[in-house]
Chains A and B, each alone.
Chain A
Amino acid sequence: MKISREDVARVAELAYLDLSEAELETYRTQIDEILEYIGKLNELDTTGVEPMAQVLADDQTADATLREDVVVPCHVAGEILKQAPDPEAPYFRVPKVIER
């Protein structure tokens, strides 16, 4: 067994994800099977291989093409706030986080 029920619960907590008891068990079984499969990567010797985080060549990356850092007007604050579940212009309101 690659992953325990406690592991799934811990990871769900890290991801701020409520899972039901049934979900915990289903995901444990399924993810265990997936991790078992992923284990086949250990057949490969990757000593000295540089990890690849992105595919673009050096001359095509952001460093080569960064735009000038200039301030441009952007008047969408009102529209963005309209999408919020609980807006109070110009803020997003959330449940209280500091106890008095």
Chain B
Amino acid sequence: MTNWTIEGVKEALAAKKLSARELASDFYRRIGERNTELNAYLTLSEERAYAQADQIDSLVAQGKPLPSLAGVPIAVKDVISTRGIRTTCGSKILENYVPPYDATAVERLEAEGAVILGKTNCDEFAMGSSNENSAYGAVRNPEATDRVPGGSSGGSAAAVAAGLAVASLGTDTGGSIRQPGSFCGIPAMMGSYGRVSRYGLIAFASSLDRIGPFATNTRDVAAILGVIAGRDPNDSTSTTAPVPDYRALMAKPVKGLRIGIPKEYFAEGMDEGVRKKIEAGIELLKKLGCELREIRMAHTDYAIATYYIIATAEASSNLARYDGVRYGLRVEDDSLLAMYRKTRGAGFGAEVKRRIVLGTYVLSAGYYDAYYLKGQKVRALIAQDFRDAFTKVDVIVTPTSPIPPFKLGEKTNDPLQMYLADIYTVTGSLAGVPGISVPCGKICGKLPVGLQIFGPAFGEAKVLQLAHAFEQAGGASL
């Protein structure tokens, strides 16, 4: 099985070693072989994929220049809208929903020649850290099939790790790109909040949601990010900050780069196997000539509590739209209000209901100040920790997850324990800064560990630069 990269695809097409149609067809063959076991894809979009592949092939035939992602087979998380292709959000309530428009990120990928293979499984409405909250069944980790792939973008991570796509889009609200990237042993990145348009992303928590890429290597991550980033008039929170050439900038040497190691991220609760790999990773960064500095981020320990107030509050508001009127499931009743209640009671899964109840509670009269307002204030303190740190260091390095991929079913009965596993990722989500997870070896040669790198807001190039150097120095085989 060929391990394709974006550049590899382009060269092969230009040299006419194979056509874009043959490549897409080969990926559908791979999906046919592995997907029953992995459950990474929920919907395949062959018609649209082959139409796009044929366009690329006709460019090749005419000797015209190829766009940057020409013929690259890409998977898209099922919370991101795709015109004419079923988009379920991993929920029964949207089982038959077919969006009438494309998300901007999808439109931009296709405009650069990418071939959208299909839609990937995820936790329902992106709520979860194991992909076990999907209404369409769990995803298996291709690296260890008795284990979870992480979540919520578990299908997007598993598809790339198993060679069922060259790259994929996921979404990250509290770690949902970085953690599955870590669990499946591939690089995975969220840009700064505002870096990539959220237009067409079906909302979970609007002040936190971000779209970002998975790929098999950091150069491909940078290439995808470069395509989907940038101002979009359809998302007022997408910024006008210019998009630099990430692939050019990431090649710069990292000698002398100041790396902050926050003490709070190495406290108790971390798996010993993870700790050893991360320590080896930090040692490698030192060998590369980076300057390591211990820093303090005093409010880290409050991030999970803050996150689960803000994210559930925003979710309870965003998910009010599923009312059985305009789209999705309806459970009939003679009374309008009973129709709403029954539809939502039947259509949402356990985790989504739990979060709607919690989010409604923290916003309700008498509790708003104690919970929601308090959460927003602590969020400001957490963001300040990051701003202070970036006056002293260029990037911050931490583990992505305190634990390696766990067994299917191991944590499903204890929501709080599942939430606590997001400890290292939610901080950057609340602060709005960019972050990547890069492979940092495997425990006992089997369970992948991810090293997380945070940069200052709109400092994606620095994050990629270090991730690339770490990858090139053999970080993945530590």
Total A-B pairs in contact (CB under 8 Å)?
173
* Interface status of B214 (Cβ within 8 A of chain A): no
**Is B356 in contact with A17, judged by CB distance below 8 angstroms?**
yes
Which residues of the other chain, B, contact A33 by a CB distance below 8 angstroms? 416
- The residues in A between 54 and 90 inclusive whose CB is less than 8 angstroms from any CB of B are 54-57, 60-62, 64-67, 76, 79-80, 82-86
Q: How far is the CA of A5 from the CA of B432 in the complex (A)?
A: 36
Q: How far is the CA of A34 from the CA of B304 in the complex (A)?
A: 10
- 11 additional A-B residue pairs with CB within 8 Å, beyond A17-B341, A38-B371: A17-B348, A19-B345, A49-B378, A51-B373, A56-B194, A56-B237, A62-B236, A76-B100, A84-B326, A85-B327, A94-B325
Q: How far is the CA of A79 from the CA of B140 in the complex (A)?
A: 35
- Which of B3-11, B32-40, B161-169, B329-337 is near enough to bind chain A? B329-337
- The residues in B between 212 and 256 inclusive whose CB is less than 8 angstroms from any CB of A are 231, 233, 236-237, 239-241
**Is B239 in contact with A49, judged by CB distance below 8 angstroms?**
no
**Is B341 in contact with A16, judged by CB distance below 8 angstroms?**
yes
Interface mask (A24-65 → B, CB under 8 Å = 1, otherwise 0)? 000100110111011011111010011111111100111011
Which residues of the other chain, B, contact A42 by a CB distance below 8 angstroms? 374
Q: How far is the CA of A35 from the CA of B98 in the complex (A)?
A: 37
**Is B357 in contact with A12, judged by CB distance below 8 angstroms?**
yes
Q: How far is the CA of A42 from the CA of B373 in the complex (A)?
A: 12
What are 18 contact pairs spanning A and B, CB under 8 A? A7-B361, A17-B357, A35-B361, A40-B302, A44-B299, A46-B378, A52-B377, A54-B193, A55-B194, A55-B207, A56-B237, A60-B240, A61-B236, A65-B239, A83-B100, A83-B326, A95-B332, A95-B336
Query: Assuming the A-B contacts A11-B360, A41-B374, A62-B237, are A83 and B381 also in contact, with contact meaning beta carbons closer than 8 angstroms in the complex?
Result: no
CB-nearest residue of chain A to B432: A55
| Range, interface on chain A | 35 or more
* Interface status of B375 (Cβ within 8 A of chain A): yes
**Is B364 in contact with A14, judged by CB distance below 8 angstroms?**
yes
- Which of B268-276, B289-297, B305-313 is near enough to bind chain A? B305-313
* Interface status of B55 (Cβ within 8 A of chain A): no
**Is A34 in contact with B376, judged by CB distance below 8 angstroms?**
no
**Is A56 in contact with B302, judged by CB distance below 8 angstroms?**
no
**Is B357 in contact with A15, judged by CB distance below 8 angstroms?**
yes
Query: In whole Å, how far is A1's beta carbon from the nearest beta carbon of chain B?
Result: 14
Query: In whole Å, how far is B142's beta carbon from the nearest beta carbon of chain A?
Result: 31
**Is A50 in contact with B357, judged by CB distance below 8 angstroms?**
no
The answer, among A27, A56, A96, for a CB contact under 8 Å with B432, is A56
**Is A8 in contact with B380, judged by CB distance below 8 angstroms?**
no
Query: In whole Å, how far is B48's beta carbon from the nearest beta carbon of chain A?
Result: 16
Q: How far is the CA of A41 from the CA of B372 in the complex (A)?
A: 11
CB-nearest residue of chain A to B240: A65
**Is B378 in contact with A17, judged by CB distance below 8 angstroms?**
no
Query: In whole Å, how far is A100's beta carbon from the nearest beta carbon of chain B?
Result: 14
Which residues of the other chain, B, contact A18 by a CB distance below 8 angstroms? 341-342, 344-346
Chain A: residues with CB nearer than 8 A to chain B? 3, 7-8, 11-12, 14-19, 23, 27, 30-31, 33-35, 37-38, 40-44, 46, 49-57, 60-62, 64-67, 76, 79-80, 82-86, 92, 94-97
**Is B305 in contact with A37, judged by CB distance below 8 angstroms?**
yes
**Is A65 in contact with B236, judged by CB distance below 8 angstroms?**
yes
* Interface status of B324 (Cβ within 8 A of chain A): yes
CB-nearest residue of chain A to B359: A15
CB-nearest residue of chain B to A65: B240
**Is B326 in contact with A92, judged by CB distance below 8 angstroms?**
yes
Query: In whole Å, how far is A92's beta carbon from the nearest beta carbon of chain B?
Result: 5
CB-nearest residue of chain B to A51: B376
CB-nearest residue of chain A to B331: A18
The answer, among B302, B329, B332, B431, for a CB contact under 8 Å with A55, is B431
Query: In whole Å, how far is B74's beta carbon from the nearest beta carbon of chain A?
Result: 24
Q: How far is the CA of A87 from the CA of B301 in the complex (A)?
A: 50
Query: Assuming the A-B contacts A40-B305, A46-B378, are A14 and B360 also in contact, with contact meaning beta carbons closer than 8 angstroms in the complex?
Result: yes
Which residues of the other chain, A, contact B114 by a CB distance below 8 angstroms? none
Query: In whole Å, how far is B13's beta carbon from the nearest beta carbon of chain A?
Result: 34
Query: In whole Å, how far is B99's beta carbon from the nearest beta carbon of chain A?
Result: 8
The answer, among A65, A79, A92, for a CB contact under 8 Å with B231, is A65
* Interface status of B328 (Cβ within 8 A of chain A): yes
Interface mask (B131-157 → A, CB under 8 Å = 1, otherwise 0)? 000000000000000000000000000
CB-nearest residue of chain B to A66: B236
Q: How far is the CA of A19 from the CA of B350 in the complex (A)?
A: 10
Which residues of the other chain, B, contact A53 by a CB distance below 8 angstroms? 207, 376
Shortest beta-carbon contacts, A-B, top 4? A18-B345, A55-B432, A51-B376, A85-B330
* Interface status of B392 (Cβ within 8 A of chain A): no
Q: How far is the CA of A95 from the CA of B306 in the complex (A)?
A: 40
The answer, among B101, B233, B380, B430, for a CB contact under 8 Å with A50, is B380
The answer, among B97, B194, B416, B430, for a CB contact under 8 Å with A30, is B416
